[in-house]
Structure 1
Amino acid sequence: MNLYPIEAGNFKLDGGAMFGVVPKTLWTRTNPADENNMIDIAARCLLIENGDRLTLIDTGMGNKQDEKFFGYYYQWGDFNLDDSLKKYGFHRDDITDVFLTHLHFDHCGGAIQWNKDRTGYEPAFKNASFWSNKDHWKWATEPNRREKASFLKENILPMQQSGQLKFVDAPSSDFATAKEMDFGILFVDGHTDKQMLPHINYKGKTLVFIADLLPTAGHLPLPFVMGYDTRPLLTLPEKEKFLKLAADNNFYLFLEHDATNQIITVKNTDKGVRLNETLTLNDFIN
């Protein structure tokens, strides 16, 4: 098995929205804001090369939306999905599986692109299966008013229309070993219904693609919960349970949205679970 960090493009989000009720004087210690109160956000995906399968976890927001849309997100830097794949010798057409932790636009937008004459949409990965789960798919295609702006039909419905959509088996508990994938999946419901967090075993170590349960290292304290979460009072126990497990078992946490840190480990302290060390995926591999 080989693992590669795929940088799909950086953007900015409102710091207050990213930290909910936490005062700015606290969250700016780890996530400094600019003059517009915006903080740096990454869209860091993970590519898993395992035998004849090449699995991409999440895709970033893509590039098919209009200028007005991107104007809300202050894109910065030179990262994009195609160049990041090329860096490791891959192309979109090589991808066999696209695993989507959830269907918010910044996680799945890159899965779908304009067709050649811009009259409609088509999969950006023509040879890949797109993996979601039935509960989350229903949640995303029949969105509540709060999340409707994050579940864009042009990002989602073409997966099904193309015939490339597949669902992982529904779990009997909050953790499942997906036979279709070569990793376990933790299901969490605080941020959005049935978000999926892959647990990858690599040479006896556990790497967890943590998605939006822990957006950045600055979100480690339990009350530091995003304003975007649909069920913040559910995020709290989900986060507490997971972080204790991560500290007790020395999990490596792959951060999708932290613009500075690729991977962190955590430890138990008198103040709760806190940061232990920061490292790159290359550090983890070696």
Structure 2
Amino acid sequence: MTLYPIETGHFKLDGGAMFGVVPKSLWQRTNPADANNMIDIAATSLLIEHGKQLILIDTGLGNKQSEKFFSHYHRWGDHSIDSSLKKHGFHRDDITDVFLTHLHFDHCGGTIQWNKDKTGYEPAFKNAKIWSNQEHWDWAINPNDRERASFLKENLLPMQESGHLNFLKRSKNRHFYENLGFEVLFVDGHTDKQMIPIIEYQDKKLVFTADLLPTAGHIPLPYVMGFDTRPLKTLTEKKLFLKEAVNNNYYLFLEHDAHNEVINLKDTEKGARLDSKFNFNELFTT
């Protein structure tokens, strides 16, 4: 197995929304805001080369939305899935599996693209199975009013219509999937049945934290996003996860942190806190 970080594109989000009830005077110490209160956000996917499979975890925002839509998210930098895949010697047609932690547009938008003449949509990875889970899918296609703006029909319906969509079955909130080669933790605070991959790699456990822990600035327990549908559930799930991460020296791959690629944690009198920051390619050999 070999892993590769894949930069899909950077953008910005409102710092207050990203930190919920936490005052700006506290969260800006780790995530400084610009004059419009926007903070830097990444959408970093993870590519897993596993035998004959090339598994891409999450796909970023994509590029099919309108300029008006993207004007709300202030994209910056020159990262793209295609250039990042090319850097590692791959093409999007090589991808065999797309694993989506959840179906919010910033995690799955790159899965579907315009067709050639822009009359409709098609899978952006034409040879790939798309993996979600039935419970989260049902939640997304019948969205509550709070999440409606995050579950976009132009992302979801073409997945189903393409015939590429598959659902992972689960019997408990933690399950190892032989067909993918990694374990999945199911969590419900941010959105229903978000899937968190836990990957055994080079004698370490690497966790793709998705929106359970968006950035290093979100480590303290009360630092919960305003986007979460069940913030008290997030607190419970996060408390258990952080304790496990400290006790087992997990390495945390931060999908949304534009400045910290991988971190680990230590226990302090205030609870779990940042221990070390790592560049992925310095931590793991390829």
TM-score of the aligned structures, taking structure 2 as reference length:
0.99
Partner SS state of residue 47, structure 2: strand
Q: CA deviation at 1:160?
A: 1.2
Q: Find the counterpart in structure 2 of residue 10 from structure 1.
A: 10
Q: Distance in 1 between matches of 2:132 and 2:27?
A: 32
Q: Aligned runs of 1:208-223 on 2, under 5 Å?
A: 208-223=207-222
Q: Distance in 1 between matches of 2:68 and 2:212?
A: 28
Q: Find the counterpart in structure 1 of residue 120 from structure 2.
A: 120
Q: Find the counterpart in structure 2 of residue 48 from structure 1.
A: 48
Q: Find the counterpart in structure 1 of residue 245 from structure 2.
A: 246
The CA RMSD over aligned residues, in Å, is 0.6
Q: Find the counterpart in structure 2 of residue 31 from structure 1.
A: 31
Partner SS state of residue 239, structure 1: helix
Q: Find the counterpart in structure 2 of residue 276 from structure 1.
A: 275
Q: Distance in 1 between matches of 2:183 and 2:102?
A: 16
Query: Quick check: 1:82 aligned with 2:101?
Result: no
Q: Distance in 2 between matches of 1:173 and 1:192?
A: 17
Partner SS state of residue 136, structure 2: helix
Q: Find the counterpart in structure 1 of residue 21 from structure 2.
A: 21
Q: Aligned runs of 1:180-195 on 2, under 5 Å?
A: 180-195=179-194
Q: Aligned runs of 1:38-187 on 2, under 5 Å?
A: 38-170=38-170, 172-187=171-186
Partner SS state of residue 126, structure 2: coil
Partner SS state of residue 21, structure 1: coil
Residue segments in structure 2 that go unaligned for 5+ positions in a row: none
Q: CA deviation at 1:283?
A: 2.1
Q: CA deviation at 1:46?
A: 0.2
Moved over 6 A (4+): none
Partner SS state of residue 3, structure 1: strand
1:159 alignment partner AA = M
Q: CA deviation at 1:113?
A: 0.2
1:8 alignment partner AA = T
Q: CA deviation at 1:91?
A: 0.5
Partner SS state of residue 221, structure 1: coil
Q: Distance in 2 between matches of 1:35 and 1:202?
A: 41
Q: Distance in 1 between matches of 2:43 and 2:153?
A: 20
Any idea what the Cα deviations from partners look like across 1:32-74, whole Å, max 9, x if unmatched?
A: 0000000000000000011100000000000000000000000
2:189 alignment partner AA = G
Q: CA deviation at 1:173?
A: 2.1
1:244 alignment partner AA = K
Aligned pair count reads 285
Q: CA deviation at 1:284?
A: 2.2
Q: Distance in 2 between matches of 1:97 and 1:283?
A: 26
Q: CA deviation at 1:204?
A: 2.0
Partner SS state of residue 31, structure 2: coil
Over the matched positions of the two proteins, sequence identity in percent amounts to 69
